[in-house]
Structure 1
């Protein structure tokens, strides 16, 4: 019997139309993200808009820009970080300096948006209620992708407007490259959401693929100074820079994005049609037949150990790469006073190689803060998925339940930064103790951000994702602030501004002690609030 001959009460959701209800879900997604999407778009656009005046102040003449471009393009260390310099115009220098960062931020925005409106909805049980109405099987995924399309179109328009004064063709090429990068990773997220059983795993797999794309691009750009390395062409981030904004635009590269995005979106739709709601193609391994977890802390470790292992494995090659680039940075900056000044602002007043290593430990510290926030927000996931209530129904207090996850969130970054120190020492050939101290000096700043994220969750669970926005703000302050020479009052908003710039400098431990005290106080406030509020309110 066909669906058309079934009684109305027995027909499948959506009346047999797989895309029924897509428009309503799309409008709902835009309403839910009416603040989040503009913040992402304006943040990326603001990053690019700040580039021309900042770099124009550093390189005020065409001769200075040409000299800087030649020096930076000839240095493998800076090419690995930022990509090759393809032209000495101001627009090309802005794309070189901020293009990779903007592309990564656009990709992260898209990953988070799609997972939020697909696997997050299934995990919370809301998708099951929505699917019981006249909603087609493929409507939720299609609505999520349309939301990502809207956000990335906005990024493309704002990026084009931000650099339009340097040339419309180049600005449009860069805007389209950013939007295309975001759409590709939106399709990646749509696929990982079908493969994994939880939103956390979907985001983690998507982030791992983004990290792999960055490493491939960095390795390829370090090998060749024109973006032509096969490794660069294996990375979507490499495709974005090979559109060559302001350097003889290659419009055909956008076709690579279109083909890959359509293929992944089609794969995601095919997978969505072949699985049950809430199921996944990469099923979780069943646990032991008899319980072996005797404490909430043991349960938290069991839930988070895989994530920590993945982050640790990712930190090692990144740190080795950063360590291997340190000597090259020093050789480049011997005759480039402007870039030397930027690096000194990033890493401190010590020798250039030490300043580069200090700047890289700061980047690794912010990455460790991302892990810490993710570990803290596992509490939010457990609560919204209704797994916390059965546990708290036993003789387990809320503070004991939270303490297990907080221990992982606060101890995990120490593991990551220790691994980073080992990688830096291996890549640079420097003695381990100095690099270990430099990496571990980032911990108070990481703990402060983790404590803030936890307290936001404790006071208002719906505000928990703001923890990501705070870490992103710190990333922008640390990465862009020194280039633009932002006022001290703005730089001081990031806790990473107050940690010592090691190795090489004489550390001041007073601000570190203050950060530890702030982290402890904010954490205590969050624990106090968590103990007194109702769950899911």
Structure 2
């Protein structure tokens, strides 16, 4: 079973591990450029104070800040989240997804024990996280940082991955749907971050509240300060306890079923569900609502930090360059970066939406629909319309909420409209990303994941491009770059129109290609 899992994940798992390691290489390079002078170091120390710093982690060692400490203390949150997501998807894919597809029932009909699949998935997840720890530690050592602390940092990241592998082993027992199981594990991750952030806001070095979050346990290892390994024992204990609960609950349900029984549907569908567009909306509705709520909370919180960013005491030239090149533009530049990041997160939603369409195809649910009078244009086009409209609605709501947070923080009500318009200005660029995913769905559906590379590059170049002097040629091929960073920059209407035309062309090409290829089912 372990060999079977590794065979199926021979591309996805190495991509996760290499991608996270390459990201560490890039971020360590960026961090080194941020601390070349005393003024820059003072700016970083100021950034790690207060509410903004608490969002990322406790402020250990900021009085003697260094690039390695900055990577572990600030960027560490990014790696915690990535390791957790890698583990959540891996465990769910080889347990609950297999039960949904019927593969698990076939396997259990052979000489395979009840716990074999879960054990194999958890074993591979544990091995992947151990390998990730070694790779991250190797990157830090290769950059010239202390090797022992680098390994501790890698272990702290892997510990988060192990915790959420165990939590996913528990959530896949609760529901019979893989998306619900991963959603519950993701909700636990979000709650863990919220508890840790609230605790660190109460005390710069972590209050008792922080210790109720597994993310805080990894922060408390304090690599490059006074490194200590013992907090990781808490992570290992929680991972083992959650996995044990998963094993215990798995024996209390039938294959394919969940502990919480699925709600019985109504005998007759509602009248409004009588079209492909309505059906597509119904299937995407929950995702649109939860993404909108989550990003609205994110936008309001970070919009409320605008007043702290405008404090110019000890600010470095790099920070000024990142936020517009002038102290007068700090608030607008900061909100422009946050708006770009929010739009990129919305891009994750649309790519996942196209992958959900792919799942409808591979699981055989599209074939009966397309055997009726419903055309391929209507079926796939309905999803594209719902995702496009949902994206615009999401950006509108998030823009209003983020603008309200900035207006309250800075004391200028004009930011409500400015930030809302800035969010909407990014819609064409994200729609190009949706068009690219649609084109891949029509031509090469197995490589839709390549869209994540474009999305990741857009985020990295948008935030760190000015500091790392990214070549203009690379920036020109990224759709999010042509919008600029409003409200710092004025909106380029010609660029928006061109991006909309490109997005429409990509979607039309994807629809045409989908009409010409065979359906693929597993």
How high is the TM-score relative to the length of structure 1?
A: 0.89
Per-residue CA deviations over 1:98-150 (Å, capped at 9, x if unaligned) read: 21112111111111211121122222222222222111111111111112112
Moved more, 255-264 or 492-501: 492-501
Q: Which residue of 1 aligns with 2:187?
A: 208
| Aligned counterpart, 2:16 | 40
Match of 1:217 in 2: 196
Q: Go from structure 1 to structure 2 and tell me whether the alpha carbon gap of 1:455 and 1:127 turns closer, same or farther (over 3 Å shift).
A: farther
**TM-superposed deviation, 1:349:** 9.4
Distance (whole Å) between structure 2 residues aligned to residue 299 and residue 212 of structure 1: 31
Matched, 1:323 2:303: yes
Contact 1:323 1:357 in 2 (8 A): yes
Give the 5 Å matches for 1:84-483.
Answer: 84=59, 86-87=61-62, 88-164=65-141, 165-226=144-205, 228-292=206-270, 293-331=273-311, 335-344=315-324, 351-429=329-407, 430-431=413-414, 432-483=416-467
CA deviation map 1:63-118 (0-9, x unaligned): 45652343223342243246535341331022234211121111111112111211
Return the match for 2:515 from 523, 526, 531: 531
**Quick one: distance in 2 between partners of 1:460 and 1:189?**
30
The 3 A distance-change label for structure 1 pair 481 and 295 is same
Task: For residue 451 of structure 1, report the CA deviation from its aligned partner.
Answer: 1.7
User: 2 CA distance for matches of 1:460 and 1:416?
Assistant: 28
Residue 50 (structure 1) aligned to one of 26, 35, 40: 26
How far apart are residue 469 of structure 1 and its match? Answer: 4.7
| 1:72 equivalenced with 2:47 (yes/no) | yes
By how many angstroms is 1:426 displaced?
Answer: 2.8
Deviation for aligned residue 1:531: 0.8
Q: Per the alignment, do residues 367 and 535 of structure 1 end up closer, same or farther by CA in structure 2, a change over 3 Å counting? A: same
- Classify the secondary structure of the residue corresponding to 1:499: coil
**Partners of 2:195 and 2:253 in 1: how far apart?**
33
Report the Cα offset of residue 520 of structure 1: 1.1
Contact kept, 8 Å, 2:403 with 2:417, in 1: the verdict is no
Kept in 2, the 8 Å contact 1:119–1:198? The answer is yes
Equivalents in 2 of 1:378, 1:135: separation in Å? 30
- Residues 350 and 118 of structure 1: is their aligned pair in 2 closer, same or farther, counting only changes over 3 Å? farther
The 8 Å contact of residues 284 and 353 in structure 2, kept in 1 or not, is answered as yes
Spell out, residue by residue over 1:408-439, the C-alpha distance to the aligned partner (whole angstroms, 9 max, x if none): 21111222212211221332223322111011
Task: Could you tell me which runs of 5 or more consecutive residues in structure 1 were left unpaired when the two chains were aligned.
Answer: 1-24
What is aligned with 2:410?
Answer: none
Pair 32,399 (structure 1): closer, same or farther in 2 beyond 3 Å: same
Instruction: Give the match for residue 500 of structure 2.
Output: 516
Structure 2 residue runs of 5 or longer lacking an equivalent are 408-412
Contact 1:442 1:496 in 2 (8 A): yes
CA deviation after TM superposition for structure 1 residue 45, in Å: 1.4
Instruction: Give RMSD over aligned pairs.
Output: 2.3
3-state SS in 2 of match to 1:331: coil
